[in-house]
């Protein structure tokens, strides 16, 4: 991991900066010759802010920790300039391609997407002790927890999607930035938690973007030891179980969590046990664990917003130090000021407008795969910046025809690819050839099938590489009865390319698009951040 250094800030203009509140961690005039990483507070020399003001800044900054998952957090205590040196950074995306950036709303605002990663690295004695599994000491880390946090463009609501760690999918080609090692694209049934060991957190980001087509702006990662240190600094977080629980089976497996029925405030190693418990919650799978993590995060956010137990400046300083030492983030969040700015954005959302969900899934043996239809529905809602709590509706954008005129049909070169493969079904045989013939019959004489490529594409799409081919791509879409929005710019293609999706495995024409349903699927198991009555169901085999 590379240690962070002072970098160009590059924060978006719409985000309020620390300097707006009288603080700045940038180098000041007269700092020449100071050691690397040295910062000083603006207005030093005996003219600091009043003490009450300092406390207020600290409390506001504590809301950065609302992004905690397994202790993943940021801190914004600006007068502790050495905290910048605590933060480690890595590249944001190690894949070859990026999901498209979202279109700004009418006010020029864009959403913010942050991937929260909990690493199970056993790369130190402390992590090995906390994580157990001595046989995995020093092995490549796994992404034990993965959650995508989506902050709406207007900052009115926030959504979180958890992905079970044993989800089977395709991990894209990733290149390790430290040693240049190239990890080729995996098969379609690779567990998503393996992405972290293929070059670092940037490969986990690339995997999410490939699956969801959601543009990810930042990531935040922490390991076992970081969870414990920050949970200690935060103090107790209330959690609830409906029976006495002891997460330990006859073979010694389990987190060791032992709680009495009702509500208990957990902290330190006990908080880590709660977040890692699988044996004992519900059906003993990663799904129950995700629910427990959602409850913990919701309770933590409420605590931090209410400043419960965090009234002492010494407590807040301790929390800041622990948080920054535990953090690994991308360069875009690699300074205290940037984390402070992020905290100011996150605190705009009330718990009642925060929604926790789990990616809809189907079981394949002991593993899971994204649930056809429902998973893509959830991803689309996030891409379109539609609140998952159902309290706000985004008006559908009117489809706009390209300003670039299309060529005559018989002059448009179209490559047709078979994207009908899914995680549960093989590709429909000969589909590229069949659809190429359908296009040729409609006048697209230069339509040719790609006989070697088999892709996985949920819905039929027409891709084009540059704006001068947008009109041609839209013309192909229109000829097939597809919406103009199915023509998408992509660097994955060199010309107009029709990818026949799993929605068109047979027949002469693609299915007509249904009216968009902007409801969060029931299978996402949504939980409101304001739900104080949520309580984990304990498996009877793990009660005492």
pLDDT band at residue 486 using 50, 70 and 90 as cut-offs: very high
Paired tokens of 260: 């009495």
CA gap 333, 132 in Å, rounded: 31
Q: What percent of the chain has pLDDT over 90?
A: 51
Give the DSSP H or E segment for 376.
helix 374-383
Q: At what angle do helices 313-326 and 224-234 cross, to 10 degrees?
A: 170
Which of 85-94, 187-196, 336-345, 431-440 is predicted least confidently? 336-345
Phi first, then psi: what are they for 282, rounded to 5°? 50, -120
Q: Strands 112-119 and 168-169, how do they pair?
A: unpaired
CA gap 92, 5 in Å, rounded: 16
* Residue ranges with strand state E in 234-353: 237-241, 245-246, 258-259, 262-266, 328-330
Ordered by where they begin, the domains of the chain are: 86-390 (3.40.630.190), 409-504 (3.30.70)
Q: Strands 328-330 and 88-90, how do they pair?
A: parallel
Average pLDDT over residues 481-508: 93
pLDDT band at residue 2 using 50, 70 and 90 as cut-offs: very low
Average pLDDT over residues 350-369: 94
CB atoms within 10 A of CB 263: 13
With a cut of 50, say whether residue 365 has pLDDT above it. Answer: yes
With a cut of 60, say whether residue 16 has pLDDT above it. Answer: no
Q: What pLDDT, on the 0 to 100 scale, is given for residue 70?
A: 32
417 and 500 Cβ atoms separated by less than 8 Å: yes
Which of 100-109, 157-166, 432-441 is predicted least confidently? 100-109
Name the pTM for this structure: 0.69
Average pLDDT over residues 106-117: 93
Judging by beta carbons within 10 Å of its beta carbon (0-12, 13-18, 19+), is residue 281 exposed, middle or buried? buried
Which of 73-82, 229-238, 355-364, 428-437 is predicted least confidently? 73-82
Average pLDDT over residues 37-52: 35
pLDDT band at residue 181 using 50, 70 and 90 as cut-offs: very high
Task: Show Cβ contacts of residue 487 under 8 Å, excluding neighbours closer than 6 positions.
Answer: 402, 461, 462, 463, 464, 470, 473, 474, 476, 477
Helix, strand, or coil (residue 317): helix
Which of 31-45, 70-84, 293-307 is predicted least confidently? 31-45
CA gap 86, 327 in Å, rounded: 8
CA gap 296, 242 in Å, rounded: 15
Which of 50-59, 248-257, 270-279, 531-540 is predicted least confidently? 50-59
With a cut of 50, say whether residue 128 has pLDDT above it. Answer: no
Which of 205-219, 398-412, 521-535 is predicted least confidently? 398-412
Which of 14-18, 202-206, 274-278, 526-530 is predicted least confidently? 14-18
218 and 332 Cβ atoms separated by less than 8 Å: yes
Residue in the block written with tokens 């926030």: 158
**Helices (DSSP H) in 235-285: which residue ranges?**
268-276
Phi first, then psi: what are they for 499, rounded to 5°? -105, 110
CA gap 394, 6 in Å, rounded: 39
Task: Show Cβ contacts of residue 295 under 8 Å, excluding neighbours closer than 6 positions.
Answer: 239, 240, 527, 534, 536
Q: What pLDDT, on the 0 to 100 scale, is given for residue 164?
A: 92
With a cut of 90, say whether residue 252 has pLDDT above it. Answer: no
**Higher local confidence (pLDDT), 427 or 5:** 427
CA gap 328, 117 in Å, rounded: 9
Residue in the block written with tokens 């991990």: 171
Average pLDDT over residues 19-30: 34
Q: What pLDDT, on the 0 to 100 scale, is given for residue 443?
A: 96
Task: Show Cβ contacts of residue 240 under 8 Å, excluding neighbours closer than 6 positions.
Answer: 262, 263, 264, 295, 534, 535, 536
Query: Which residues lie across from 262 on neighbouring strands?
Result: 241
């Amino acid at each position: 991991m590379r240690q962070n250094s002072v970098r160009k800030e590059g924060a978006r203009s719409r985000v309020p900066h620390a300097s707006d509140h009288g603080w700045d961690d940038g180098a000041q005039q007269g700092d020449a010759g100071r050691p690397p990483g040295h910062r000083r507070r603006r207005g030093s020399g005996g003219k600091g802010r009043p003490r009450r003001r300092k406390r207020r800044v600290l409390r506001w900054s504590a809301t950065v920790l609302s992004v905690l998952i397994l202790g993943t957090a940021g801190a914004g205590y600006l007068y502790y300039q050495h905290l910048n040196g605590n933060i480690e950074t890595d590249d944001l995306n190690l894949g070859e391609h990026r999901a498209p950036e979202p279109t700004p709303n009418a006010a020029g605002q864009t959403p913010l997407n942050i991937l929260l990663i909990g690493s199970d690295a056993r790369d130190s004695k402390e992590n090995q002790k906390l994580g157990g599994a001595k046989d995995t000491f020093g092995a490549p880390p796994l992404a034990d927890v993965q959650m995508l946090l989506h902050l709406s463009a207007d900052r009115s609501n926030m959504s979180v999607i958890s992905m079970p760690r044993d989800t089977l999918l395709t991990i894209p080609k990733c290149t390790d930035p430290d040693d240049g090692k190239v990890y080729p694209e995996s098969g379609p049934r690779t567990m998503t938690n393996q992405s972290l060991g293929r070059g670092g957190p940037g490969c986990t980001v690339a995997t999410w973007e490939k699956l969801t087509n959601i543009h990810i702006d930042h990531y935040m990662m922490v390991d076992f030891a970081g969870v414990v240190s920050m949970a200690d600094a935060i103090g107790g977080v209330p959690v609830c179980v409906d029976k006495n629980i002891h997460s330990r089976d006859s073979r010694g497996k389990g987190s060791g969590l032992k709680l009495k029925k009702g509500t208990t405030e957990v902290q330190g190693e006990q908080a880590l046990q709660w977040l890692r418990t699988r044996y004992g919650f519900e059906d003993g799978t990663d799904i129950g664990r995700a629910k427990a993590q959602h409850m913990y995060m919701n309770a933590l956010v409420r605590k931090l917003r209410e400043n419960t137990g965090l009234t002492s400046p010494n407590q807040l300083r301790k929390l800041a130090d622990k948080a920054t030492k535990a953090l690994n983030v991308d360069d875009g969040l690699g300074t205290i000021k940037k984390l402070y700015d992020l905290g100011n954005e996150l605190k705009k959302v009330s718990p009642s407008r925060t929604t926790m969900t789990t990616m809809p899934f189907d079981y394949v043996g002991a593993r899971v795969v994204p649930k056809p239809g429902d998973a893509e529905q959830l991803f689309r809602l996030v891409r379109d910046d539609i609140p998952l709590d159902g309290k706000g509706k985004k008006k559908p954008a009117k489809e706009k025809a390209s300003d670039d005129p299309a060529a005559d049909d018989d002059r448009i070169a179209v490559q047709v690819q078979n994207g009908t493969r899914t995680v549960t079904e093989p590709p429909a045989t000969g589909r590229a050839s069949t659809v190429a013939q359908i296009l040729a019959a409609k006048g697209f004489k230069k339509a040719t099938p790609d006989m070697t490529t088999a892709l996985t594409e949920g819905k039929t799409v027409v891709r084009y590489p540059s704006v001068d081919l947008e009109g041609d791509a839209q013309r192909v879409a229109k000829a097939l009865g597809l919406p103009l929005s199915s023509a998408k710019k992509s660097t994955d293609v060199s010309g107009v390319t029709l990818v026949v999706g799993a929605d068109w495995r047979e027949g002469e024409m693609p299915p007509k698009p249904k009216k968009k349903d902007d409801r969060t699927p029931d299978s996402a198991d949504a939980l409101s951040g304001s739900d104080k009555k949520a309580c984990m169901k304990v498996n009877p085999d793990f009660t005492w």
